[in-house]
Amino acid sequence: MADLPELVGRRPELARLVDVLVGRGSYSSAVVAGEAGVGKSRLTTEAIADASREGVSVLVGYCLPLTEHLPLLPVQHVLTAIANLGDGSLLRDALHALAPELRLELQRLTPDLVTEPEPRRELETDKSWRRRQLYDAVRQVMVHASRHARLSMVVEDIHWADPPTLDLLEYLLAPGGPSLPLVVTWRSGEPPAAAIDAWLAWVRRQPGLRFEELGPLDLQETTAQAVGVLGQPLSREQVRQVFARSEGNPLFTEQLVTFLHSSSGSTAAGSSRRLPSQ
C-alpha cells in the first residue's frame, strides 16, 4: 500500500482523538463527524497509527452500504482483528471461557473463527433471545480481551450500520461492558436513517463522549494539501481556483489538483492551466 500523504491541518483534532484511543484524559469515546470527503477516515487512520506507536492495538470494523444484507459486519471485522493479535491465544482463551450456548452463537456469526465442534441444538428458538446470547458472547470476549491487552476500537462509517450493530455497540458501551475506548466516524450533512438518528441521540447523552465535527480546510491548509498531492506548488491563481471550487473539502481539492496535473502534460505547460468553468 502506498504511503498516505502527510496529514494537513487537524492537529488539535488528531491529538484529542489519540487521547481517546490510548485512554488519556476524560473522554472514553468519540464520534468523528463531517460531510463526505472532509477527511474523517484520513484523520482516524492517522490517530490509529499514533495510538499503535504507543502500544495500543486498535480493532477496526467497517460498515458498508451493503450491511443491510450483511448484519454485524463490523463486529466480524473486530473479532477477526482480535484473532489476529499475537499467536491468536487472546481469542482462543476468551472463547474457552464462554458457556457452550454463547460459543454457539459466535460460531453462527463467525464460523471461520469459532471452529470447535458444538452440539447443534436449539436451546431457544426465539430470535430476540438468541440475539441477546450473541451480544453477551461478544461482550464477554471483549471484556476478556481488554483485560489482557491494551485495546481500543474504531468503527468506520456508522451511517451505514445495520440496527443489530448499533444495538451491540450500545450494549458494549453500557455499564459493565469492556473498558475499551471507542471511536466511530459518521457522515453528517445528509438525513440519517431513523435507527442512526436515535443511536446518535443516545450516544450524545453518554458521559465521556467527545463529538468531533470536522469542518473544511482553510486557504493555507488547502495550499499545503495541493503541494502534498502534486509534490510541487501550484500558482497562486490555480490555488485560488481550487479553493473556490472545493470550498476546502480535501477530497475535492485532491481531485481538482490531480486534474490540473494530469491535464497539463508538463509542469511548465501546467503552470497556467485553469479548471473548466462550472
Give me the DSSP letters along 123-158.
S---HHHHHHHHHHHHHHHHHHHHHHS-EEEEEE-G
pLDDT of residue 270: 42
Residue 16 is predicted with a pLDDT of: 96
Span 171-206, pLDDT tens digits: 888 777 778 899 999 998 777 778 888 988 888 888
**CA 81, 83, 86, 91 torsion: positive or negative?**
positive
Report the chain's mean pLDDT, rounded to a whole number.
85
**94-135 per-position pLDDT tens digit:** 998 999 889 888 888 888 887 765 545 555 556 677 888 999
- Grade residue 65 by pLDDT with cuts at 50, 70 and 90: confident
pLDDT band at 20 (very low <50, low <70, confident <90, very high): very high
User: For the chain, what percent of residues have pLDDT higher than 90?
Assistant: 47
Q: So where are the chain's domains? A: 11-213, 219-270
Q: pTM of the full predicted structure?
A: 0.85
Q: Which residues of 238-275 are buried (b: 16+ CB within 10 A; e: fewer)?
A: bbebbbeebebbbebbbbbbeebbeeeeeeeebeebeb
Coil, strand or helix at 60: strand
Query: Is residue 220 over pLDDT 80?
Result: yes
Q: Which residues 6+ apart lie within 8 Å of 233 measured at CB?
A: 223, 226, 227
How far, in Å, CA of 252 to CA of 238, rounded?
Answer: 14
What integer pLDDT is reported at residue 239 of this predicted model? 86
For domain 11-213, the question of CATH label 3.40.50 is answered with yes
Strands (E), 63-219: 151-156, 182-187, 209-213
Q: Is the pLDDT of residue 55 over 90?
A: yes
